[in-house]
Structure 1
C-alpha cells in the first residue's frame, strides 16, 4: 500500500533527523582527526607552510566546487516516488497493488539512473578545470611558495586527488537521493582518519629525518582521502552489501524517444536547473571564498597562515554543527517541496518544511546568544593551551574573537540559502544570481573600506564577510516570507523571534566581555568558567 502524504512526510522527517546525526558524526570525526594531527605538528610548523597548505585547500575547493556543486543542487530536485510498504501481495485481489509496487520500483530506477547519468558531468567538468586551474596556479603562485620544497609536486598531487574525488559522484548522487547517510558515514569517517594519519605521519617522519618537505604532507593527505573515498564507495555501493537495483552506475540510456531527456540520458529539467546554478556558483564562490582569494593575492604567506588558523579554529562549530544541518535540511526541503505530476505541492509537506525551518532558526538564535559572549571570553585561554607560544599572540586572539561574531551570520545564511536552493525554480535562481552580483559589489565595497581605508587587514576581511552574510540572509529571508505567503501558510516574525529578555541577557553579557573580561591567570580561568556556566543556564 502506498504511503499517505502525512506518512511520507513523517518518513522524510525521520530520515532527515537520522541523516543529520550521521552528517554531524562525519564532520565531528573529521574535525577531531584533523585537529589532533594539526596539534601534533602545529608547534613545529611555521605560519608560511600553513599558508601554503591553505592555498592548496583553496585550489582543491575551487576545482570541486565548480565541478560538482551545481550538479549536486540539481540532483536534489529529482525526488523519489513514494515507496510501497507492502512488496509481497498475497492474493490475486492484490494484483492492482502489485502493479502499483512495480510502477513505483520502475520510477525509482529511472530516478536513480537520471542522477547517476547527471553526476558524470561533474567528472567531465572536473577534468577540464583541473588542467586549467593547476596550470594557472603553478604559473601565478607566490615566489615564496614556488621555492618551497616539493611545491610543484604538491600542486600536481592535489589536482589529481580532486579528480579522484570527483569519480565518486555517481555513488554519492544515489546516496544523497535515497538518504543513505549511514553508508556515507561508513566511508567518509575512515577516509578522514586516513587523511589525518597520512598528513601527520609524513610530516613527523620528515621532521625526524631533518628533510625539508614543505606542504607535501597536506597534498598526500588529500590524495589518501580521495583514494579512501573511491575504494570505500566502490566497496559499499557495488559490493555484497548493496541491494538488487534495476539501474547501473554506468552512463546508461533511459529513454530513447522522450523530449524530457537529452540524448536519452540527461533529464532536461535538471539540466536547466544545473545550468542556472552553475552561473550563480561563479559569483557565489567569490562571495564564499573571497576572503581566502584576497588574502592569497594581497597578503604574505605568514598572514595567510595566521588567518587560516583563525578560520579553522573559529569555524569548528560551523563545520561540525551548521554544515551537516544545512546539507540534510537542503535534502529535506527538496523532498518536501517537490511538486506532484500536476505541479502542485502538498500543504502538509509545505507546513512541515516551514516548521522545520522555524525550529532551526530559533535554535540558531539560542546558539548565537551563547557564542557572542562566550566565544571571545574563552579564546585566549584555549589558544594558549593549544597553539603554544608561537601562535599565542594578541593578533591571533583578536582575530579569533572577531571570528566568533561572524559564525552566527554564517549559520543563518547557510540555512536560509539551503531553503532557497531547494524551493526556487530556474527563473528565481537566475534572479538570485543577479542579486548575487549586487552582493559581490557590496562585499567588495566593504572589503575596500575595511582593508584599504581602515587598514584593518585580516580583521577587515572578517567584518566584510559579516556584511556579506547579512545582506544575503536578508534577501533569502524575504524570498522565504514570500514563498510561504504564496503557499497559503505565511511565516510571521513572532514565530521565529525569542523572548526579549533573552536578547537583553545576550547584549549585557557580550558588552561585559568586550569591555572588561577576566585576567589571564588561573584565577581568571576559574572566573571565566563560572561566568560561562551561569550565563548558559540563564539563556
Structure 2
C-alpha cells in the first residue's frame, strides 16, 4: 500500500482484501457445515430439524438482531484516530466504546423477553418434544454469550482487522458443527434438540474466547464517565450524542427490518407443520449457500467501505464519490450476471440436482418447490443487500425515519402477499418466498432511488446510471441462446432417469453452455 495512495483507494484495497478473506471464511465454513448438514438431516427427523433450524434460529436471530444491528451499523461511521493506518490497533474514544457496550445491556431484557415469549406462544406439538425447554434456555444463553463479544467485534471492524473476525468465526463454526454432530451421534435420539443447542453454545463461547484472546488485556466491559468542558462548564457524558442518536434511530428501524428479513420464518413457524418446517429449513440452507458464501461478505465489506468513504467530510470528496459510484456499479453489474446465470441454467438442471442432494424423505416436503423459487430469491437478496448497505452507510436519521415508514408499508404488503401467494394461489410455503422476493425488490427500489438522490444532490448524478448495470447486447444474446439450448436438452432427456449416467448428455450441454456464457461475460 503506497503512502501516496489516496485514502479512498487505500480503503478500497483493504476492503477488497477483507471481502476476499470473508469469502474464503464463508466458503470454508459453509462447505464444512454443508457436509455435516448432509449427515445431520439423515440423523434427525424433519420435525426436529425444522424446530432447530427454523424456530431456534429465529429466536437466536431475533435476540442478536434487535440487540446489536443498529448499533453495529451506526458505529461503522465512527471516525478513526488521526494517522491510524487500517489494520492497526488503537484505543477507541470512551464515548464511542461506551456505545459499543449497549448491545450487552440491551441484550439482557431482549434475551429474557424473547425466550419467554417463544416458550409461551409455541404450539403443544412443538413444546412436547423431549428437552424442549432446556434447549431453548441453552439457545438464549448462547445468544447472550455471543453478545458479550460484540464490543470487541465492533472494535475489530472499525480497525479493519478482519483477520481477527475470520479466525474467531472460522473456529466457532467448526466447534459448533462438530459439537452438534458428536452429541447427536453419542446421545439417545431424544437429546437431538439439545445437541443443536449445545452446538450454538459452543459457537458463542468460542467467538467470545477468540476476541478476548486478541483484545482481552485492554478491553473494558463497563461504562466510563467522561468530563468535557462546555463554555467553561464541566459536563459529564457517557455517550457521543451524534452516534447515540444515530444508533437509536437504526435500532428502532431494525425492529421492522428484522420482521421483513425473517418474515417468512415467522409465518412458517406458526402456519406450517413441523415436517414442512424441516423441509423449509433444508431448502433455505441449500438455497442460500451462494448468498452466505459470496453476498454476505460483499454486503458487509460494502457497508464498511461506503461508511468510511462517504460518511465523513473529505478534501477529495469528488474522488471519493467517483470511487464509491464505481464500486457500486461493478457490484450491481456482477449481480446482474449472476441473475442471468441462475435463470438460464437453474430451471433445466434443478430436478437432477434435487435428486442428488436432497435426502429422499425431504423430497416429499416443501423443499423442492422452495428451492425452485431460490433461483429468483438469491439475486434479489444480492441487489437489495448492497443497495441497503449504501443506504445504511450514508443515511441521516431523517432518511432512516422515511425508510422505516416505507418498510412498515412493505411489511403490510408482505403479510398480504404471503397469504395471497401461499393460500389463495395455493403455492404453500414457496408462496412465502415469492412474497419475500416482492418485498426485497420494493426495498431495493427504494434504496436505488436514494442512491440516485444522494449523487444528484452533490451534482454528480451521472455517476450512477441504470444502464451501467446492464451487460452488453452480445452477452445477453449468449445467455438467451444458452437458455433455449438447455431447455431443449431438458425436454430431450426428460424421460431418462434422474442419474448422472443417464443425464450425461444433458449435463454436458449445460457445462458447454455455461462456459460459453462465462467467455462472453
TM-score (norm 2): 0.91
2:6 partner SS: helix
Question: In structure 1, which of residues 251, 256, 266 is the aligned counterpart of residue 228 of structure 2?
Answer: 256
From the superposition, tell whether residues 515 and 213 of structure 1 become closer, same or farther in structure 2 (CA, over 3 Å): farther
Question: In structure 2, which of residues 130, 154, 160 is the aligned counterpart of residue 179 of structure 1?
Answer: 160
1:486 shift after superposition: 1.6
From the superposition, tell whether residues 205 and 269 of structure 1 become closer, same or farther in structure 2 (CA, over 3 Å): same
From the superposition, tell whether residues 84 and 42 of structure 1 become closer, same or farther in structure 2 (CA, over 3 Å): closer
| Structural mapping, 1:27-46, within 5 Å | 27-46=26-45
2:190 partner SS: coil
Contact 1:138 1:152 (C-alpha < 8 Å) held by counterparts = yes
1:78 partner SS: coil
1:529 shift after superposition: 2.7
Contact 2:336 2:469 (C-alpha < 8 Å) held by counterparts = no
Match of 2:273 in 1: 300
From the superposition, tell whether residues 84 and 459 of structure 1 become closer, same or farther in structure 2 (CA, over 3 Å): closer
Match of 1:215 in 2: 193
The answer as to 2:447 corresponding to 1:476 is: yes
From the superposition, tell whether residues 410 and 211 of structure 1 become closer, same or farther in structure 2 (CA, over 3 Å): closer
Question: CA deviation digits over 1:199-235, x for unaligned, max 9?
Answer: 11101112xxx44213111100110011101111111
1:447 shift after superposition: 1.3
The answer as to 2:318 corresponding to 1:347 is: yes
Match of 1:48 in 2: 47
From the superposition, tell whether residues 521 and 453 of structure 1 become closer, same or farther in structure 2 (CA, over 3 Å): same
State the alpha-carbon separation in 2 of the partners of residues 84 and 406 from structure 1: 40
State the alpha-carbon separation in 2 of the partners of residues 14 and 311 from structure 1: 33
Question: In structure 2, which of residues 140, 144, 147 is the aligned counterpart of residue 159 of structure 1?
Answer: 140
The answer as to 2:333 corresponding to 1:362 is: yes
Match of 2:71 in 1: 71
Match of 1:429 in 2: 400
| Alignment: residue pair count | 504
Match of 1:226 in 2: 204
Query: Which runs of no fewer than 5 residues in structure 2 stay unpaired?
Result: none
Contact 1:42 1:387 (C-alpha < 8 Å) held by counterparts = no
Match of 1:124 in 2: 105
State the alpha-carbon separation in 2 of the partners of residues 371 and 271 from structure 1: 42
Match of 1:325 in 2: 298
The answer as to 2:308 corresponding to 1:335 is: yes
Contact 1:372 1:506 (C-alpha < 8 Å) held by counterparts = no
1:46 shift after superposition: 1.0
State the alpha-carbon separation in 2 of the partners of residues 515 and 144 from structure 1: 46
Contact 2:227 2:235 (C-alpha < 8 Å) held by counterparts = no
1:507 shift after superposition: 4.7
Range that drifts further, 444-453 or 331-340? 444-453
State the alpha-carbon separation in 2 of the partners of residues 323 and 534 from structure 1: 29
Question: In structure 2, which of residues 154, 169, 183 is the aligned counterpart of residue 202 of structure 1?
Answer: 183
Match of 1:418 in 2: 389
Query: What do you get for the CA RMSD once the two structures are aligned?
Result: 2.5
State the alpha-carbon separation in 1 of the partners of residues 244 and 296 from structure 2: 26
1:345 shift after superposition: 7.0
Match of 1:13 in 2: 12
From the superposition, tell whether residues 149 and 84 of structure 1 become closer, same or farther in structure 2 (CA, over 3 Å): closer
1:43 partner SS: helix
Contact 1:41 1:204 (C-alpha < 8 Å) held by counterparts = no
